[in-house]
Amino acid sequence: MDLTFTDHERAFQTEVRDFLATNLPAHITAAVRAGVELPREIYQEWHELLGRKGWLGATWPREYGGPGWTPVERYIFDVECSRANAPRVVAFGPHMLGPVIIEFGNDRQKAEILPRILSGEDWWAQGYSEPGAGSDLASLRTRADRDGDHYILNGQKTWTTLGQHANRIFCLVRTTQGGKPQEGISFVLADIDTPGIEVRPIRLIEGGHEVNEVFFDNVRVPVDNLVGEENKGWTIAKFLLTHERTNIAGVGISMQALDELKALARRMRRKGRPLIEDPLFAARIARVETDLEAMKITNLRMLFRAQKQGHPGPETSILKIKGTLVNQELRDLARRALGPLAAPFPGSVGETNLMFGPENSETNAATYFNNRKTSIFGGSNEIQRNILTKTMLGL
Amino acid sequence: MNFDLTEDRRMLSDTLTRYLADRYAIGDRSRTAYAAPFHDPDRWTELAELGMAGALVPETAGGFGGTGFDIAVLFEALGRALCPEPFLGTLLASRLMLAADADQAQLISGARRFAVGLAEIDAPYDIGHIASTARRTGDGYCLTGRKTAVYGGQAADEFLLVALLDGAPAVFRADAAAVTVVGYGMIDGGGAAEVLMEDSPATLLLDNATAAITGAVTAGRLALCAEAVGAMDAAYAILLDYLKTRKQFGVVIGSFQALQHRTVDLLMEIEQARSITIAAAAALDGPDAALKSAMAKTLIGRAARLVAEETIQIHGGIAMTWDYAASHYAKRLIMLDHQLGDTDHCLDEVMQSYTA
C-alpha cells in the first residue's frame, strides 16, 4: 500500500502546474471562476493552447499525436486543470470521436479527422439522444437510407451540447429497420452546414443556451462518412460508454468547489459567527468533505486497477454516481450559503455597480440548477446502477 | 501509488482468515461470543502464537507491525469472521505502552490480556472528560472512580486506566485483582466491563497522557473501521447470494430493480468505506492521523448502518433470525458505531478543523 505518486508523476504534476500558471490567461480563469457560460472563443483559445502543447488528445497514443499519458497522468492533468480554473475540454472531438476514429476508423479517416481535432479546426458535436431515445438510446429512430454513394438522413437529435458552436457532428443512425434495437445502428459523420441540417437552441432550466436540437431533413451524407461497419454502430456507442472513464468523478472540480464553498462560508455570517462555524452548516460541509476524501481514494484505486489491467473496469460507474452526488451536494451548499443573495436572476439587474453578494456569487444558483444535469447525462445514475447490477452484482 | 498488500501482510491476512474460518464458523462463533467469558482463552492463545498481537506492535517495541496497514489488515479479517477476541483492548493498550516505552513482551505473547479504561459513564465518547482520580501513596498510587465500556475487560489480566493526576490525564496500570470488574456480554457478541476503583493500588504508566490517549483512540478508530469493512464485505456477500437464490413471484428476487439499485448503493458505500479506511491507515503515523480517522469513523458509521439495515430489509424475515449469519453481521455493524465515538461525534471532530 502506497498512496503517493511516483517521482515521475510528481514531476509531471509540477510540469502541468507550471504550464498552467504560465500559459493560462487571466481572462479565461476569471470567466471560469465567475461561473458564466463560456463563449466559443474561450474554448477555442484553450483547445489551441493545449493542442500546441500536444496535450489536447489526452487519451490518444503518441503515434496519433496524443501525449501517451498513463491513466494516473491523465488524472493528475484533470485535477490540476480544475484547480487552476481552466475550462473543461469540450469532449466530443478530443475525448470521444478521436478515440473512436483511432479504434474503428479507416486510414483515410484517421488522416483527415484526427489532425483537425488537435488543431481545433473542427468542433464536433454529438448526435446521440433523441426525443424518444434518452436512457433507452438503442430505440433511436433517426434513419439513414442508402441512395447510391450517399445516405439520406431523416430525424431529430437532441441535447446536443454546444452544438451551436460545432461545424461537424457524429451521429448514431438506423441503417436497418426491424430486428433487435441494438442491431441496425450505424455511426455516421456529417458536416453541420450540409443542406437539411438545422440546429435549434434549447433553453435550459437556469436560462442558458448550452444544448440544442438538431433536425435532419433529407440530408445527403457520403457513404465514406460511415465509421466502422454498417449496422455495427452500437459497438462504438458501447465503446464510448466505457472508454477512459476513470476521471469521470470530477475530483478536481469538486475539490475546487469545496475550497470555494469554504471560502464563502467563512465570509458569510450566521448568529454572529462565520457560517462555517454554524454547527448545522459545518456538519453538512464535513459530511461532503468526508465523502470527497473517500472518493479521491476510490478514484485512485480504480486508476491503479486500470493501469494494471490496461483498461478501466465497470466499477467506474461508481465514480460517475458518487462524483455527481458529491458535486451536486457542494452546489447545494454553496447556494444555501448565500441565502437570499442567491436569488437575483443573472443579467436582470441592469447597469449598476452594486454587488449583490461576494465576488462571483451571482451565478451560484444558476450553477446549482445547471448541475442537476450531471446525474442525468452520460448514462443517468439509474442507468449506471443498471450497469453495476449486471457487471458487479452479477444479477 | 500501489494498492496491493505487501507479501508479508497478505500472508498475515491469509493465515488469520484461514484460522478464523476454521475456528469461528458462525455457529461456533455465536456460542463463544455470547457465553462468559465472551471469548475463547485457548484460541486467544493460539492467535497470539500465530503472531496476531505482535502484528499490532512496531518492531522497535518487539513486534513486527504496528503500522496503519498492519492494523487494518488484521481487523478486516477479524471483522469478516465476527471474531469476538479482545483485540481492540490489546491495540489500545499497545499504543499507550508504546507511548510510555513500556515492555510489551507479555502483550505480544498473549500471556497477559490487557484492557484499557478510557471512558467515563456520563460522557463516554468524550476522552477529555475524566472524573476518576489518582492519589499518590508511599510507593505508588491509588485510583478512585469508575471506568465504563472497557472492551475485553471481562477477561483481562491487567488494566490500563486513565485518571487525573494533579489535574492532568495520566495512565495507570492495575492488576485485575486490584479493582472490581463487572463483566458483561455485548449485544453484538464479545465482552466488556465496568471497572470500579475504590482507592485501588496502581502504578503509573504515563503522565500528561492526553496526546497518547488521542493516539490510542485514533488507532482504535482505524481498527474499528477496518473491522467494519470486513463485516460489510461478508454481509454483502451473504446478501448477494440470497438475491440470486431466493425466489418470490416465480423469479429470483435479484431480478427486481427496486432491490438491485439499493444493493448497488451498498456496493458503492462499501467501496467508499474501504477507501476512507485506506486513507486513515496511510495517515496513522502522520500529522493528519486524528482527522483522517475521524473522517473514516463518521463515514463508516453511516455506511455500516445502511449496510446493516438494508441487508435485513432486502433479505426479509430470514435476516431477523438468530440462526442466519446476516443478523449477527447487522448487529456488529450497528454497534461498532457505539465504540470510541459514533458518526455524529466524529463528524463534529471533522467540523472542529474548520474553526481556525
Decide if B321 contacts B328 (C-beta within 8 A): no
Question: How far is B346 from B228, CA to CA, in rounded Å?
Answer: 16
pLDDT at residue B44 in the model: 97
Q: Name which of B275, B292, B346, B355 to mutate to probe chain A: the one with the most chain A Cβ atoms within 10 A of its Cβ.
A: B275
The SS3 assignment for B56 reads: helix
Given 3-state DSSP classes, what are the helix, strand and coil percentages for chain A, each rounded to the nearest 5?
50, 15, 35
| Mean pLDDT on A161-179 | 96
Question: How far is B181 from B159, CA to CA, in rounded Å?
Answer: 10
Distance from CA of B323 to the nearest CA of A (A): 25
Q: Name which of A389, A391, A392 to mutate to probe chain B: the one with the most chain B Cβ atoms within 10 A of its Cβ.
A: A389
| Mean pLDDT on A206-210 | 95
The SS3 assignment for B111 reads: coil
Taking an 8 Å cut-off on Cβ atoms, the answer to whether A286 and B279 are in contact is no
How crowded is residue B59: how many other Cβ atoms within 10 Å of its Cβ?
10
**In sequence order, what are the residues at sequence separation of 6 or more whose Cβ sits closer than 8 angstroms to the Cβ of residue B250?**
none
Instruction: State the Cα torsion A79-B280-B120-B78 to the nearest 10°.
Output: 140
Question: How far is A359 from A347, CA to CA, in rounded Å?
Answer: 15
Question: How far is B295 from B273, CA to CA, in rounded Å?
Answer: 10
Which candidate in A244, A260, A329, A362 is catalytic? A244
| Residue A218, H or E segment | strand A209-222
Q: Residue B292: its chain A contacts at CB < 8 A? A: 293
pLDDT at A315 over 90: no
% residues pLDDT > 70 (chain A): 100
| Mean pLDDT on B89-99 | 98
Question: How far is A186 from A180, CA to CA, in rounded Å?
Answer: 14
Q: Does B8 touch chain A (CB under 8 A)?
A: no
Question: How far is B281 from B296, CA to CA, in rounded Å?
Answer: 10
Q: What are phi and psi of A65, to 5 degrees?
A: 95, 10
Taking an 8 Å cut-off on Cβ atoms, the answer to whether B354 and A72 are in contact is no
pLDDT at residue A350 in the model: 82
For A359-378, write each residue's pLDDT tens digit: 888 899 999 999 999 999 98
Q: Does B258 touch chain A (CB under 8 A)?
A: no
Q: Residue B278: its chain A contacts at CB < 8 A? A: 1, 3, 297, 301
Q: Residue B5: its chain A contacts at CB < 8 A? A: 1
Domains, chain A, ordered by start: 7-89 (1.10.540.10), 124-231 (2.40.110.10), 245-344+359-393 (1.20.140.10)
Q: Which three cell numbers stand for residue A385?
A: 446502477
First to last CA, chain B: 32
pLDDT at residue A336 in the model: 96
Taking an 8 Å cut-off on Cβ atoms, the answer to whether A285 and B351 are in contact is yes
For A54-68, write each residue's pLDDT tens digit: 999 999 999 999 999
pLDDT at B76 over 80: yes
Q: Give me the count of residues in chain A.
A: 395
Look at the block and give the residue holding cell 453484538: B188
On average, the pLDDT of chain A sits at 95
pLDDT at A244 over 80: no
How crowded is residue A164: how many other Cβ atoms within 10 Å of its Cβ?
17
pLDDT at residue A240 in the model: 83
| Mean pLDDT on B59-86 | 97
Distance from CA of B253 to the nearest CA of A (A): 10
pLDDT at residue A347 in the model: 81
Distance from CA of A76 to the nearest CA of B (A): 13
Taking an 8 Å cut-off on Cβ atoms, the answer to whether A1 and B278 are in contact is yes
| Mean pLDDT on B51-58 | 97
Between strands B158-165 and B114-117, the pairing is: parallel
pLDDT at residue A383 in the model: 94
Q: What is the pTM of this model?
A: 0.95
pLDDT at A246 over 70: yes
pLDDT at residue B319 in the model: 97
Distance from CA of B201 to the nearest CA of A (A): 43
pLDDT at residue A333 in the model: 98
For A61, A95, A157, A376, the CA distances from A379, given in Å and listed in that order, are 26, 16, 16, 7
pLDDT at residue A313 in the model: 80
pLDDT at residue B127 in the model: 87
The SS3 assignment for A256 reads: helix
Question: How far is A146 from A135, CA to CA, in rounded Å?
Answer: 28
Instruction: State the Cα torsion A376-A378-A383-A386 to the nearest 10°.
Output: -150
Taking an 8 Å cut-off on Cβ atoms, the answer to whether A393 and B240 are in contact is yes
| Mean pLDDT on A263-267 | 96
pLDDT at residue B341 in the model: 97
Q: Residue B354: its chain A contacts at CB < 8 A? A: 262, 276-277, 282, 285-286
Taking an 8 Å cut-off on Cβ atoms, the answer to whether A295 and B273 are in contact is no
Q: Does B6 touch chain A (CB under 8 A)?
A: yes
With bands split at pLDDT 50, 70 and 90, how would you rate the model's confidence at B304? very high
Taking an 8 Å cut-off on Cβ atoms, the answer to whether B1 and A303 are in contact is yes
- Note if A48 is an active site residue: no
DSSP B178: G
Nearest to B1 among A286, A304, A315 (CB): A304
pLDDT at A203 over 90: yes
Amino acid at the residue A34: A
Nearest to B268 among A303, A304, A321 (CB): A321
DSSP A185: E
Look at the block and give the residue holding cell 452479477: A394
For A74-84, write each residue's pLDDT tens digit: 999 999 999 99
Between strands B247-248 and B191-206, the pairing is: unpaired
The SS3 assignment for A150 reads: strand
With bands split at pLDDT 50, 70 and 90, how would you rate the model's confidence at A219? very high
The SS3 assignment for B124 reads: coil
With bands split at pLDDT 50, 70 and 90, how would you rate the model's confidence at B331? very high
With bands split at pLDDT 50, 70 and 90, how would you rate the model's confidence at A385? very high
**DSSP E strands, B90-176:** 114-117, 133-136, 141-151, 158-165, 168-175
Decide if A391 contacts B241 (C-beta within 8 A): no
With bands split at pLDDT 50, 70 and 90, how would you rate the model's confidence at B189? very high
pLDDT at residue A248 in the model: 87
Nearest to B1 among A4, A321, A382 (CB): A4
Taking an 8 Å cut-off on Cβ atoms, the answer to whether A294 and B254 are in contact is no
Q: What is the 3-state secondary structure (H, E, C) of chain B?
A: CECCCCHHHHHHHHHHHHHHHHHCCHHHHHHHHCCCCCCCHHHHHHHHHCCCCHHHCCHHHCCCCCCHHHHHHHHHHHHHCCCCCCHHHHHHHHHHHHHCCCCCHHHHHCCCCEEEECECCCCCCCCCCCCCEEEECCCCEEEEEEEEEEECHHHCCEEEEEEEECCEEEEEEEEHHHCEEEEEECCCCCEEEEEEEEEEEEEEEECCCHHHHHHHHHHHHHHHHHHHHHHHHHHHHHHHHHHHHCEECCEEHHHCHHHHHHHHHHHHHHHHHHHHHHHHHHHCCCCCHHHHHHHHHHHHHHHHHHHHHHHHHHHCHHHHCCCCHHHHHHHHHHHHHHCCCCHHHHHHHHHHCCCC
Decide if A364 contacts A339 (C-beta within 8 A): no
Q: A81: closest CA among A291, A247, A241? A: A247
Domains, chain B, ordered by start: 7-109 (1.10.540.10), 114-208 (2.40.110.10), 212-352 (1.20.140.10)
Q: Which three cell numbers stand for residue B150?
A: 472497557
% residues pLDDT > 90 (chain B): 98
Q: Residue B355: its chain A contacts at CB < 8 A? A: 276-277
Q: B337: closest CA among B228, B192, B187, B217? A: B228
Taking an 8 Å cut-off on Cβ atoms, the answer to whether B272 and A301 are in contact is no
| Mean pLDDT on A296-320 | 90
Question: How far is A389 from B262, CA to CA, in rounded Å?
Answer: 10
Q: Is the dihedral of CA B170, B172, B178, B182 positive or negative?
A: positive
Q: Residue B273: its chain A contacts at CB < 8 A? A: 294
